[in-house]
Amino acid sequence: MDKYVINGGNKLSGKIRIESAKNSVLPIIAGSILTNQQVVIKNCPKIKDVYAMLEILSYLGGKWTFEQGDLILNNASLNRYDIPKELASPVRSSVFMLGALLCRFKKAKIHQPGGCNIGKRPIDLHILALEDLGVKTECLGEQIICSAKEIKTNNIYLNYPSVGTTENIILCSVLSKGKTQIFNAAKEPEIVDLMKFLNSMGAKIYGAGTSTILIDGVENLSGTEFTPMFDRIECGTFMLATAITGGEIELSNCNAKNISLLTNKLCNNTCKITINNDIIYIKSGGKPKGFSFATNPYPQFPTDLQAQTMSLLCVSEGVSTITENVFENRFNHVNELVKMGADISVKGKTAIVKGVKRLNGKTVTATDLRGGASLVLAGLNAEGQTTVENVYYIERGYSDFDKKLRSLGADIIKQG
Ligand code: EPZ
């Protein structure tokens, strides 16, 4: 398995352009099957989760190719509606195909989706919502078999503002005859992006980004050329890498309003941050001060930045508490950080972090995407050499992570 070998202590400096958002591109790829015309996703990140979705498309009969950084999709020849275990279980985003396949074929058969092991990750809310749209669902072992005479319209009240469920309802009902409303919808910016993408194809969706979304079904959707939003989690990860190494970098292709909570925390934490249009400039102001936060659905602190922020807090002054409210098992990186000398104790869904002067280089193992990124950040700070194993997890969501860090002055190499 590939690993990163890092010699800590270098301050990051330089410029980096942030990629398009993984969690925007994945549901958009699912949405591309709702037209037989060409769909172009500009500047699509070449990450493992994208390739996993493209493998599903190929299996279903779709065609795709990369031209420079753009992903060109054509799903006119799509002729299957089943996704087998080997294609569904590597990624959570396979679940988005449920809504899109039901919209196109009125039937779908998918194996239980996978994704990072950060909790049970059930899909009960997806199933309840699809049933509200008139879909008949049957679970045979780990197979989910769905069918509908037609996709009904409805008012759907989500018990929890689930991102994937909100996206699945939109994908399933965008061609229905009539209006569907989602109440207590997730408000993540990536859902706004999915709405913009589908509306650029002729859909009539309103209200994404708020807790009430209206989908007014249309007859059909045309092709489109779409540039997804920036990856706010990649952006936050590099900002935290700058803070943990005491460096200063410039990030472009950003929208600071989508990452304001982290920016505010870092500003109060000794970093100087200036924003100029799509550029964020961050300069560390020396030893960071600890702070506490709790993760919650957008616009609260993003769960996808919890692990990376924990690494910074491990070497910040004072005691910080982190409460993980979104996933029930998203502290797998704690034991690995403790191996590096971090002082962390976990009580239920709260981690108490006592800042230490500096971490020590060790061999540690990534167990999920964002936890793996947090270990890299810890290695950038640590005294001596850190080896992060199982970097496959990291490469699911970050393209050329080691290369980008090296371009900013980090001493990091990838070894097979
Ligand atoms: C999306 O996952 C993202 N993944 C996750 O990013 C992100 O952490 C999460 O939203 C929250 O922002 C993609 O977009 C591909 P949820 P998703 O449905 O849709 C529970 C990353 O690192 N739940 O909002 O799975 C669930 O178990 C990844 O990029 C149910 O109980 O998130 C979790 O505790 C990780 N039943 C909570 O809701 C359901 O049917 C949030 O899940 C669905 C979800």
pLDDT in tens, the chain (416 residues): 899 999 999 999 999 999 999 999 999 999 999 999 999 999 999 999 999 999 999 999 999 999 999 999 999 999 999 999 899 888 888 898 999 999 999 999 998 887 777 877 789 999 999 999 999 999 888 899 999 999 999 999 999 999 999 999 999 999 999 999 999 999 999 999 999 999 999 999 999 999 999 999 999 999 999 999 999 999 999 999 999 999 999 999 999 999 999 999 998 888 999 999 999 999 999 999 999 999 999 999 999 999 999 999 999 999 999 999 999 999 999 999 999 999 999 999 999 999 999 999 999 999 999 999 999 999 999 999 999 999 999 999 999 999 999 999 999 999 98
Dist. CA 362 → ligand 1 center (Å): 31
Q: Is 119 in the pocket of ligand 1 (CB under 6 A)?
A: yes
Q: In what order do the strands lie in the sheet with 343-347?
A: 293-295, 319-324, 350-354, 343-347
Helix (H) or strand (E) holding 56: helix 48-60
Strands (E), 75-142: 82-83, 107-111, 136-140
Spatial contact of 365 and 4, defined as CB atoms under 8 Å apart: no
User: Which residue is closest in CA terms to ligand 1's atom 21?
Assistant: 304
Dist. CA 184 → ligand 1 center (Å): 15
Q: Is 126 in the pocket of ligand 1 (CB under 6 A)?
A: yes
Q: Token match 């859909």: residue?
A: 203
DSSP 3-state of 292? coil
Query: How high is the pLDDT of residue 221?
Result: 98
User: Which tokens go with 140?
Assistant: 């045979």
Is 235 marked active-site? no
User: Which tokens go with 171?
Assistant: 């994908």
Q: Is 194 in the pocket of ligand 1 (CB under 6 A)?
A: no
Dist. CA 326 → ligand 1 center (Å): 8
Per-residue CA distances from 218 to 34, 174, 176, 195, 205 (Å): 12, 7, 7, 14, 10
* For helices 189-199 and 22-31, angle between their N-to-C axes, nearest 10 degrees: 30
Q: Is 393 in the pocket of ligand 1 (CB under 6 A)?
A: no
Beta bridge partners of 343: 354
User: Which residue is closest in CA terms to ligand 1's atom 26?
Assistant: 121
DSSP 3-state of 296? coil
Query: How high is the pLDDT of residue 91?
Result: 80
The number of the ligand 1 atom at minimal distance from the alpha carbon of 188 is 12
Dist. CA 118 → ligand 1 center (Å): 10
- Which of 44, 103, 116, 146 is labelled catalytic? 116
The number of the ligand 1 atom at minimal distance from the alpha carbon of 49 is 15
Q: Is 373 in the pocket of ligand 1 (CB under 6 A)?
A: no
Q: How many whole angstroms separate alpha carbon 324 and alpha carbon 36? A: 42
Query: How high is the pLDDT of residue 142?
Result: 86
Q: What is the pTM of this model?
A: 0.97
User: Which residue is closest in CA terms to ligand 1's atom 6?
Assistant: 304
